[in-house]
Amino acid sequence: MSNAAVLWRRVVAEAVGTGLLVTVVVGSGIAASSLSPGDVGLQLLENSFATALGLGVLILMLGPVSGAHFNPVVSAVDWWLGRRTGAGLTSRELTAYVPAQIVGAIAGAVLANLMYAKAAVSWSTTDRSTGHLWLGEIVATAGLIVLIFALGWSGRAAVAPAAVGAYIGAAYWFTSSTSFANPAVSIGRAFSDTFAGIAPGSLVGFVVAQLFGAVVGVGLLAILYPDAGRAADEIVTPHTDTTTTGATT
């Protein structure tokens, strides 16, 4: 099997995984609004619980194919840290992963909308354009980056499905922004005017904060785990070419 075909399969896994993640986030947000009208705290609990579980399942399901990044900043940091050691994503792989993640996220929001008999696209009107929310995104994204690479560096990438799901579920509550921590997911959530949405006008601030959070995360890794780049092939989980036994992609 050629390298191009292998990359194609991994790109599909990233698109499907990111899309289903957004479907979980948006779909559970719609369900929460319907099941618990008027109780925002309970809606957030329902939304965060479903997202944490769903993310863990998706990492287990698709991680063996692509590593289950489902997040442009995770892919970008994987490429950046792995450059010196020859590990992680190549530039070509990065430029394939990121568009797939974004397209998948948009498709996932459309799918959630349609499953609940809503318009395929309904632009969110939930404004999230204040500084304290951007700070929340910086914290959430930096923590996610450090967690993922710390697990890889320490040989514990196998527990990433539970650990990453738990982190995102917790960050729903301890960050002011409810922890989007993902540019692709943020873009996807703009396509649904629901509890989990974000107004298109708020996207630039959120994405910039997430990128800055990734930089902060890389800085913390340089201090705490200076050779974390050696584990870039283990991010988020170890992944192999499923067409050939034991061949690492």
DSSP secondary structure, 124-149, as one string: ------SHHHHHHHHHHHHHHHHHHH
Quick one: residue 124, left, alpha or beta (phi over 0 = left, psi -120 to 50 = alpha)? Answer: beta
In a domain, 166, yes or no: yes
pLDDT at 231 over 50: yes
Q: How far is CA 72 from CA 12, 31, 185, 186, 194, in A?
A: 15, 27, 9, 11, 24
In a domain, 209, yes or no: yes
Buried-exposed string 55-85: b where 16+ CB fall within 10 A, e elsewhere: bbebbeebbbbbbbbbbbbbbbbbbbbbeee
6: preceding bond cis by omega (within 30 degrees): no
In a domain, 11, yes or no: yes
pLDDT at 120 over 50: yes
The average pLDDT across 222-247 equals 78
Q: How confident is the model at residue 1 (pLDDT cuts 50, 70, 90)?
A: very low
Domain that holds residue 170: 3-234
Give the Cα separation of 139 and 174 in Å (integer).
10
Q: How many domains does the chain have?
A: 1
Q: How confident is the model at residue 191 (pLDDT cuts 50, 70, 90)?
A: very high
Quick one: residue 117, left, alpha or beta (phi over 0 = left, psi -120 to 50 = alpha)? Answer: left
Radius of gyration of the chain (CA): 17
In a domain, 249, yes or no: no
E-state strands within 122-214: none
The average pLDDT across 17-42 equals 96
Mean pLDDT of the chain: 93
Q: How far is CA 212 from CA 70, 87, 209, 215, in A?
A: 18, 23, 5, 5
Q: How confident is the model at residue 238 (pLDDT cuts 50, 70, 90)?
A: confident
Give the Cα separation of 213 and 218 in Å (integer).
9
In a domain, 199, yes or no: yes
Give the Cα separation of 172 and 164 in Å (integer).
12
**Global pTM value:** 0.93
The CATH number assigned to the domain holding 132 equals 1.20.1080.10
Q: How confident is the model at residue 247 (pLDDT cuts 50, 70, 90)?
A: very low
The whole-number pLDDT of residue 248 equals 36
Task: List for the chain the helix, strand, coil content (%; round to 5).
Answer: 70, 0, 30
In a domain, 197, yes or no: yes
In a domain, 239, yes or no: no
Give the Cα separation of 112 and 109 in Å (integer).
5
Residues 6+ apart with CB under 8 A from 212: 138, 141
In a domain, 9, yes or no: yes
Give the Cα separation of 226 and 77 in Å (integer).
14
